[in-house]
A and B are shown apart, each in its own frame.
Chain A
Amino acid sequence: MDSAPSSRRRPVALKVLIAGGFGVGKTTLVSSCSEVLPLRTEEHITTASIGTDDLTGVEGKTTTTVVMDFGRIRINDDVVLYLFGTPGQERFWFLWDELVIGALGAVVMADTRRLADCFPSLDYFENRGTPFLVAVNCFFGEQRHSVEKVREALDLDPSVPIVLCDARDRESSKQVLLTLIQYVRSTQRIPVAG
């Protein structure tokens, strides 16, 4: 397909997914560390949206448009990091199926006040084998629970990093992404070492 190696280096596009429950701060995280572009996408309406999307009178409608966060961090001339804020609503999760292919990793954001909101995201990435970390968004600097308690509550693999962050803070958000990349790098090294 793209066999002939051009003299110019091919650009590298890296995908990072930002997941989590509704209102957990995904948009804030994306916008704090990159420029955010509104991204419209659409998918076929599934049974999941029946009862939610009113299709009365438009029974022939088979797709629905979803707006999601889309951030971009240009690392250098060749490498671009794309951030996709996945839709929080469960009914749009089928959107992830394309996104998760070739994704570098995922950030699952958690709010300790509503910790259960992130359970489905964790399950999803665990099932897909996508490397992910958990970023606990400390709203208003509040840290209600220790990292160990959160890890226990989420029943996470010990290797999965948990990061406390403030999604509004650029440095904090950067740190989340840095941790993720380093984690991905470490997971990739293991098979090489083994």
Chain B
Amino acid sequence: MGDDERRAVGPTPEDSAWTGPRHRSGTGRGRPRPRRRRPPAAEPVAEATERAPEASTAPTHDPSTGGASTVDAATGGAAPADTARGATASSSRASDETPVDAATVEAASVDVTTADTATVDKAPADKAPADKAPADKAPADKAPVDKAPVDKASADTATVDAAAAVAGDRPGETGDPAPPSPATGEAPGTARARVAPGTPPAPRKPGAPRVPSTASVSPAGAVPATTSAPVARRTRAVGKAAVPAVAVPTVPNPRVPVDSAVPAAEEHTWLDEEAGPVVRPYTLTGGRSRPFTSGLNMLTYVEALYAPDADLVGLQPEQRAILEMTRTATTVVELAARLDLPVGVVRVLVGDLIQANLVSTFEADAAVRAPGDDILQAVIDGLRAL
């Protein structure tokens, strides 16, 4: 009987996925669960390892753009993961938009110029202005070349450009979190996007101020190409990250945002019984610690006044569970035990249900008067029969 009941009721708290993880903090969290934020960060890392050679080759290709690459190497500490990501970005761009390749490569090369100049500007301030100038111009010149006669843009130049793109994306995106090119407007966006999924912070911060000027040099047509690809990527990444947070609050309940913390809690394996519930118990009641009605004893029976057409929209999952459990009269204390909620919280929740005319309550006979002899005899018999 007890088992039946348990089985009958068991699923509700389990299924509802609210009560389980939140209050029974120890149950779901013991097993290692991948953090949701990891995947977006982990993938690029994997790619980073894959593309590491590519990234490493970048400097070797770079000499085409002049002393800038050496400056790159000098400023060196750029996060390899990010460079790889830049590589993936460029490669994906290339694969996605083969016809636009010229534009993207061009834009990448423009990036290179901006980035390189930025780094060059920063690092060897007075060393090679002469070198710098041709370096700036060279890609700029190259860009139109790529653009107009595609035939000229041989595979070699393409690779060089791609490598340049790698090199260019690296400082441009990782190094300048703030304002690399307000003029074009894409770089801050990309920078933010990179930061958002939790990329390792770039150790290097090339001086940004010069960049806008070089960015302004970049042909306007190239900008959308680069922006479009990172934007698409960014939204995807953001979408991934945002899904767990956004998934829950479809219920028009003001308290639901509190509940939406549950999936977030599931991510963290460090939360356990010791840490206590993620959601403090009385957040379920909106901070109320006193029920709407008085006289809800621990052993007060609650029984659902089941109305099939009842408006259950505004109810919390816990209250729905209570309605489910109280199809047969159940005591407050048992509701609390099965929901794994403090008795006081259940009192408040039940009080709301009473107010909504969804349940009725009555006192157990024993609470009103001393149990009769027949009942005691029944208990004795029952205990003996156990």
Chain A residues with a Cβ under 8 A of chain B: 1-2, 10-15, 33, 35, 37-42, 63, 65, 70, 72-82, 98-99, 101-102, 104, 170, 174, 177-178, 181-182, 184-185, 188-189
Given the contacts A40-B343, A82-B299, A188-B373, A12 and B337 also touching, CB distance less than 8 Å: no
Which of chain A's residues have a CB closer than 8 A to the CB of B363?
Answer: 1-2
Let me know if A35 and B6 touch, CB within 8 A: yes
Give chain B's interface residue range (CB within 8 Å of chain A). 35 or more
Flag if B297 contacts A181 (CB, 8 Å): no
| Bound CA span A82–B383, Å | 13
Considering only CB atoms, which chain A residue lies closest to B289 in the complex? Answer: A63
Determine whether the beta carbon of A99 is less than 8 Å from that of B298. yes
- Whether, in the assembled complex, B131 has its beta carbon less than 8 Å from a beta carbon of chain A, the answer is no
Residue positions of B touching A, CB distance < 8 A: 1-2, 6, 23, 281-282, 289, 297-299, 301, 329, 331, 333-334, 336-338, 340-345, 362-368, 370-371, 373, 375-384, 386
Shortest C-beta distance, A43 to chain B (Å), equals 8
In the assembled complex, the Cα of A92 lies from the Cα of B266 at a distance in Å of 31
A-B contact count (CB 8 A): 126
Distance in angstroms from A45 CB to nearest chain B CB is 12
In the complex, the answer to whether B371 meets A73 with C-beta atoms within 8 Å is no
B375 and A39 contact, CB distance less than 8 A:
no
12 contacts between A and B (CB under 8 A): A1-B362, A13-B301, A13-B365, A33-B386, A37-B338, A39-B337, A40-B343, A41-B336, A42-B343, A65-B342, A170-B386, A177-B383
Question: Chain B residues near A73 (CB, 8 Å)?
Answer: 382-383, 386
Contact of B370 among A1, A177, A188 (CB under 8 A): A188
Among B281, B373, B386: residue with most chain A CB under 10 A: B386
Name 11 extra pairs, CB < 8 A, besides A11-B301, A82-B299: A2-B363, A11-B329, A13-B331, A37-B338, A40-B23, A41-B336, A41-B344, A42-B343, A42-B345, A101-B367, A178-B380
The 8 closest A-B pairs by CB, nearest first: A75-B382, A13-B364, A37-B337, A2-B362, A102-B367, A41-B343, A42-B342, A40-B342
Query: Nearest residue in B to A182 (C-beta to C-beta)?
Result: B380
B residues in contact with A77, CB < 8 Å = 1
Query: Smallest CB-CB separation from B369: which chain A residue?
Result: A102
Q: How many Å lie between the Cα of A65 and that of B368 in the bound state?
A: 28
